[in-house]
Amino acid sequence: MKYFISIAIFMFISSFAGVRAQNDPTLAGMILMYTNKAEKELKNQEKVMLLQ
């Protein structure tokens, strides 16, 4: 979960550092999908922790 968020953050920062690569819509879609999944999982874990 944290791995995918770390990759997304790294790619975001790399775009400002002058690192340019060809855009891959499939990879971008996969990153977005896993990031959204990780955020939902984190929210669910936070809800469970609040209920305890």
Residue 18 in any domain: the answer is no
- Please check whether residue 35 lies inside any domain of the structure: yes
Whether this model's pTM surpasses 0.75: no
Query: Residue 24 has which token pair?
Result: 């891959």
Residue 30: which domain range? 24-52
Close Cβ partners of 21 (under 8 Å, ≥ 6 residues apart): none
Tens-binned pLDDT, residue by residue, of the chain (52 aa): 677 787 777 777 776 655 556 677 888 889 999 999 999 999 999 999 998 7
Q: Write phi, then psi, for 24 (nearest 5 degrees).
A: -115, 105
Which H/E stretch holds residue 3? helix 2-16
What is the number of structural domains in the chain? Answer: 1
